[in-house]
Amino acid sequence: MPSTAIAKHIKEIPKISTKNDFSVLNEPWTVWNWYKKPDWVHVLGLVFMPIYGFYMAYTSVALQQKTAIFSVLYYFFTGLGITAGYHRLWSHRAYSAGPTLQFILMLASTGAMQGSIRWWCRNHRAHHRYTDTEKDPYGAQKGLMWSHFVWMLLRQDPTTVGWADVSDLKANKLVRFQHDHFLWLAPFMSLGVPTLIAGLGWGDYWGGFIYGGIIRQFVVHHATFCVNSLAHWLGDMPFDDRHTPRDHILTALVTLGEGYHNFHHEFPQDYRNAIKFYQYDPTKWLIAFCAFLGLASDLKRFPTNEITKGQVRMQQQKLDQIKSTLIWGTPIDQLPVYTFEEFQAMATEKGQAVTLIEGIIYDLESFVDEHPGGRSLIRSAIGKDATTSFNGGVYDHSNAARHLLERMRVGVVAGGGYVEHRRSTTSSGAHRLSTVPANSYPPAASVSAVNRTA
């Protein structure tokens, strides 16, 4: 066969792609493709290893006191490695750490076995940039279990996750080292170190492996996962309610201080999650202590003024929602405008029990017999400007009285102090009010009594 024909034949041979095929992820689950959808490495670490660990703890390996104490301490060591290292240092650059602290945090966080710094922070930065959208790798809108850990059990097409800049991490030599050697470094720090410490320290190799390794790792995993799930489901939204992050003490206790998540999403570069001294945030305390020792610096704090403004805005929003459910009477901008003479005629000619307070006409007919001060005081104010009497001349009325009046207003008087600058005159000479927000009402002390007298 001529060489040209052989070359042509070779080109026609289908090439086997070495790239991951993610098309199956968009196909329905079937008996033929189900095994292609899980991420089997994550399934091994997050499902089968804990099952094995708890089985061995229940059937074969007794928990010794020293091993229990060590496991708790190693839990805090590796857990704080994630919160102070992966999260607040490398993901958000909320503070600066010297070489010594960076190295310690790298070892500690690697012992949590949650992926490399670069992988973890890349996903977390995407989570903040695309919160609650399809580009969020663990978006809460897909459900509590998805955001907790199902997103890791299933393969994800990396092209569906939003882009995040990690150039600073790629330039960090320590981060590069950990990323390149993670496959041996993580098992050693997560399983090897606790096994060796318990074994060499007090002869409990199996206890160190099972309790200090597998079970401790399981607890650290799910404590971290609660930041992505529980912190988007349980609690309040005191700073912003456009997305799902929430603040709750229970989540803070579970996650080593990461539970004030609404604050964190609003002010992600603040090294604190909890801003009040009594709120539980051991990660904040650790960072502050490291700064005291000179191991950390440049601890970022968002201005208190802006934090308070965020709280006030949310409080005002809640108040506005409550106000919208209440009856405030006819809005002032919708009331008809009368002259003072027309107001007087309503009382003298039409027999209406109307009075004038701060430029607004009130019909008191339904309240004459209910007035705590008696009928005579009400009758004496009919057809007159009662502003002075209402505001202390006879009695300085309460807020309750003013609120009750709001439902009795029937008009305003042209030239009344409150409406003077809000009214305009049409070409025909008739008076009208310019726009005033719905449900607005005049503060009792803000309206001067400038109405004409008879």
State pLDDT tens for residues 307-348: 999 999 999 999 999 999 998 888 988 999 999 999 999 999
Each residue's pLDDT tens digit, 358-409: 999 999 988 888 888 878 888 888 999 999 888 888 888 888 888 889 999 9
Give the model's pLDDT for residue 67: 99
Q: Can you tell me the distance from the alpha carbon of 49 to that of 113, in angstroms, rounded to the nearest whole number?
A: 12
From 248-262, 275-289, 379-393, the region with the lowest mean pLDDT: 379-393
Per the DSSP assignment, residues forming a β-bridge with 236 are: 247
Give the model's pLDDT for residue 31: 83
pTM of the model: 0.79
From 43-47, 175-179, 348-352, the region with the lowest mean pLDDT: 348-352
- Burial class of 89 by CB neighbour count within 10 A (0 to 12, 13 to 18, 19+): buried
Q: In terms of residues, how long is the chain? A: 454
Q: Can you tell me the distance from the alpha carbon of 155 to that of 159, in angstroms, rounded to the nearest whole number?
A: 12
Inter-residue contact 176 to 194 (CB < 8 Å): no
What is the CATH number that goes with domain 332-433? 3.10.120.10
Which is it for the CA torsion 225, 226, 229, 232, positive or negative? negative
Each residue's pLDDT tens digit, 143-161: 999 999 999 999 988 888 9
The separation between CA 158 and the C-alpha centre of its own chain, rounded to angstroms, equals: 26
Give the model's pLDDT for residue 127: 97
Q: Can you tell me the distance from the alpha carbon of 402 to that of 175, in angstroms, rounded to the nearest whole number?
A: 66
Q: Would the pLDDT of 7 be above 50?
A: no
Inter-residue contact 224 to 255 (CB < 8 Å): yes
418-446 core/surface letters (b: 16 or more CB in 10 A; e: else): bbeeebeeeeeeebebeebeebebbebee
Each residue's pLDDT tens digit, 234-247: 999 999 999 999 99
Q: Would the pLDDT of 439 be above 90?
A: no
From 21-25, 49-53, 107-111, 401-405, the region with the lowest mean pLDDT: 21-25
Residue with more model confidence, 2 or 295? 295
Reported confidence tier of residue 91, pLDDT bands at 50, 70, 90 = very high
Give the residue range(s) of CATH 3.10.120.10 domains in the chain: 332-433
Place of tokens 């029937």: 410
- Burial class of 103 by CB neighbour count within 10 A (0 to 12, 13 to 18, 19+): middle
Give the model's pLDDT for residue 4: 54
Give the model's pLDDT for residue 32: 86
Q: Can you tell me the distance from the alpha carbon of 75 to that of 72, in angstroms, rounded to the nearest whole number?
A: 5
- The SS3 of residue 276 is coil
Place of tokens 């996650």: 255
Which stretches of 316-389 are assigned E, i.e. beta strand? 337-338, 354-357, 360-363
Give the model's pLDDT for residue 416: 66
Per the DSSP assignment, residues forming a β-bridge with 196 are: none
Mean pLDDT value across residues 88-102: 98
Q: Would the pLDDT of 442 be above 50?
A: no
Per the DSSP assignment, residues forming a β-bridge with 297 are: 96
Inter-residue contact 283 to 312 (CB < 8 Å): no
Give the model's pLDDT for residue 240: 96
Mean pLDDT value across residues 82-86: 99
Residue of 357, 356, 375 lying closest to 366 (CA atoms): 375
* Tokens (6 digits) for 54: 């708890």
Q: Can you tell me the distance from the alpha carbon of 205 to that of 68, in angstroms, rounded to the nearest whole number?
A: 13
Residue of 201, 205, 206, 253 lying closest to 226 (CA atoms): 253
Mean pLDDT for the chain?
88
Q: Would the pLDDT of 13 be above 60?
A: no
Out of 8-17, 228-237, 348-357, the most confident range is 228-237
Q: Can you tell me the distance from the alpha carbon of 34 to that of 144, in angstroms, rounded to the nearest whole number?
A: 23
Helical H runs in 203-247? Answer: 205-207, 216-228
Give the model's pLDDT for residue 431: 41
Inter-residue contact 449 to 416 (CB < 8 Å): no
